[in-house]
Amino acid sequence: MLDQNRLFPAESRTRELARRLYGSIKDLPIISPHGHTDPRWFAENKPFANPSALFIEPDHYIFRMLYSQGVPLESLGIQEAGPAGTSSGTNSVDPREVWRLFAKHYFLFRGTPTRLWLDFVFETLFSIEERLCADNADTCYDTIAKALAQPDFLPRALFGRFRLEVLATTDAAVDSLSWHQQIRQSDWSGRVLPTFRPDAVIDAEYAGFRANLDRLAEVTDEDVSHWSGYLAALRSRRAFFKSMGATATDHGHLTAMTADLDRGEAERLYERVFSGSLQPGDVELFQAQMLTEMAGMSVDDGLVMQLHPGSVRNHNAAVYRRFGRDKGADIPQPTDYVHGLRPLLNRYGNESNFNLILFTLDESTYARELAPLASHYPCLRLGPAWWFHDSPEGMMRFREQTTETAGFCNTVGFNDDTRAFLSIPARHDVSRRVDSSFLARLVIEGRLDQNEAFELAEDLTVGLVRKAYKL
């Protein structure tokens, strides 16, 4: 199924150079500094349950497309939400029936990056060279299920097979990191690192927010009923994450708005947030202030700060009520970085020990806002084309619109941002092919020397990400 020249330019000279550039980087290790895989997989190192549980249930790219065509989420094995958004565990659909439904609708993914990723996985990992469809659904299911029962398909074995150098998970601020501790205490040498994600104790509209604050107080032994205790608790958790190997924090706010209130204003705002006596605008203002507070803590402890705003979460209220978060109903909105980030950057933008990586779902900001900001502030780097734009076209648009102003060194390579473990090498392969194509075009157009292109290809694959995330 896989065309060896896929994603390379059609023009022969450029294609040949892109092939050579890609050949120089295709086998380099994978560094995955921003993702959502489950650390439990690597702690327990047990076989994956079945093809549906591995491919479909954790991957919103797959089930959101099927849902858009009228396929009920429950028929895909998606669990209904229990208390505080946890899985109720009430769905008992036969995984083979889930797979058959997926195979029947595989044609929906024509032309999408999901199709590229899935075809790559089916062929390279399971030697399936026939397009998935209703007629071969059971054969493909059995082939994959048989492979998953083998030792070389255990999570740790796949980690090595994928040449993963580092894999970062994303973990709630109050997480015990018990699975990470189990990994560290084992005799396995794979680097699986946590990432500090404090949204659930910063967003006053987050499900279970007050309970999350109580849990924060419990795990830190701090009195979070007042501003100074709350900040002390967050510093404590950051220190714990760092002791467990974390090099970064991650913040998924609705906007890029930041604030720099004086201490008295911040204390009064937190009192309202903690008591639930909110005034109009308090939720967004508190999140804005907390981004600046988190930046200050990053100056102190050196953790790299990641900000990815612009997603209207849980847009489908009925799906959210029934199935909870992260069910494919997060929708991009426009984002203002220039004005939104100014208070934070005025406070910390020139600090030598501060590193802020910006992501976006708003491509209109690439050339107008993000590239100019990153080309000036020493602390700023641009995250790659991501989420809805994690596609060949999206990656190329990112390079075309940011390179002219920010260059290459103000970017951070690629990350896969995935819950679907097997898609990691597929996604990185797409990125390496697109970058090779872009660099080849610059050489053929006389804008770059060939030796520079080969140096840049390696930087975009491993060099920039190691540096940006302090790996």
pLDDT tens for 24-62 read: 999 999 999 999 999 999 999 999 999 999 999 989 999
User: Which DSSP string do the residues of 15-77 spell out, in sequence order?
Assistant: HHHHHHHHHHHTTSPEEE-S----HHHHHH-PPP--HHHHHTTT-HHHHHHHHHTT--GGGGT
CA distance 22 to 423: 19
CATH number at residue 179: 3.20.20.140
Whether residues 326 and 442 share a domain: the answer is: yes
The DSSP symbol for 133 reads -
Structural domain contains residue 4: no
Last residue of a domain, one of 117, 152, 187: 152
64 contacts: CB under 8 Å, gap ≥ 6: 327, 328, 329
User: Which DSSP string do the residues of 169-231 spell out, in sequence order?
Assistant: --EETT---HHHHHHHHSS----EE--EE-GGGT-TTSTTHHHHHHHHHHHHT--TTSHHHHH
pLDDT digits (tens, 9 = 90+) for 137-153: 999 999 999 999 999 99
Whether residues 205 and 351 share a domain: the answer is: yes
R_g (Cα) of the chain, nearest Å: 22
pLDDT at 88 over 70: no
% of the chain residues with pLDDT over 90:
96
Structural domain contains residue 356: yes
Q: Which two tokens stand for residue 304?
A: 């790299």
Structural domain contains residue 2: no
Residue 91's pLDDT is what? Answer: 59
Whether residues 60 and 207 share a domain: the answer is: no
* Number of structural domains in the chain: 2
Residue owning tokens 């030598």: 352
pLDDT digits (tens, 9 = 90+) for 249-265: 999 999 999 999 999 99
Whether residues 61 and 143 share a domain: the answer is: yes
pLDDT at 387 over 90: yes
Residue owning tokens 């946890």: 86
Torsion over CA: 200, 202, 205, 210 (sign): positive
User: Which DSSP string do the residues of 279-328 spell out, in sequence order?
Assistant: PTTHHHHHHHHHHHHHHHHHHHH-PEEEE---EETT--HHHHHHH-S-SS
pLDDT at 87 over 60: no
CA distance 31 to 43: 19
Q: Which two tokens stand for residue 220?
A: 């830190």
pLDDT digits (tens, 9 = 90+) for 272-314: 999 999 999 999 999 999 999 999 999 999 999 999 999 999 9
Domain that holds residue 56: 49-152
Structural domain contains residue 420: yes
Whether residues 43 and 147 share a domain: the answer is: no
The enclosing H or E element of 274 equals: helix 263-275
Structural domain contains residue 5: no
Whether residues 136 and 209 share a domain: the answer is: no
Q: Given pLDDT bands bounded at 50, 70 and 90, which one contains residue 427?
A: very high
Whether residues 55 and 139 share a domain: the answer is: yes
Task: Report, as an integer, the average pLDDT of 361-373.
Answer: 98
Whether residues 190 and 272 share a domain: the answer is: yes
The enclosing H or E element of 141 equals: helix 137-148
Whether residues 254 and 157 share a domain: the answer is: yes
Instruction: Decide if 177 contacts 171 (C-beta within 8 A).
Output: yes
Burial of residue 379 (CB within 10 Å: 0-12, 13-18, 19+) is: buried
Q: For all residues of the chain together, what is the average pLDDT?
A: 96
Residue 92's pLDDT is what? Answer: 81
Structural domain contains residue 284: yes
Structural domain contains residue 7: no
Last residue of a domain, one of 111, 136, 152: 152
Q: Given pLDDT bands bounded at 50, 70 and 90, which one contains residue 83?
A: low
pLDDT at 89 over 90: no
The enclosing H or E element of 413 equals: none
Residue 82's pLDDT is what? Answer: 73
CATH number at residue 83: 1.10.2020.10
Task: Report, as an integer, the average pLDDT of 395-401.
Answer: 98
Whether residues 297 and 370 share a domain: the answer is: yes
Q: Which two tokens stand for residue 242?
A: 């760092």
pLDDT digits (tens, 9 = 90+) for 206-233: 999 999 999 999 999 999 999 999 999 9
CA distance 209 to 213: 6
Residue 5's pLDDT is what? Answer: 97
CA distance 463 to 458: 6
Structural domain contains residue 346: yes
The percent of the chain in helix, strand and coil, each rounded to the nearest 5, is 55, 5, 40
CA distance 471 to 466: 5
Last residue of a domain, one of 113, 136, 152: 152
Whether residues 99 and 144 share a domain: the answer is: yes
Whether residues 102 and 239 share a domain: the answer is: no
Residue 305's pLDDT is what? Answer: 98
Q: Given pLDDT bands bounded at 50, 70 and 90, which one contains residue 86?
A: low
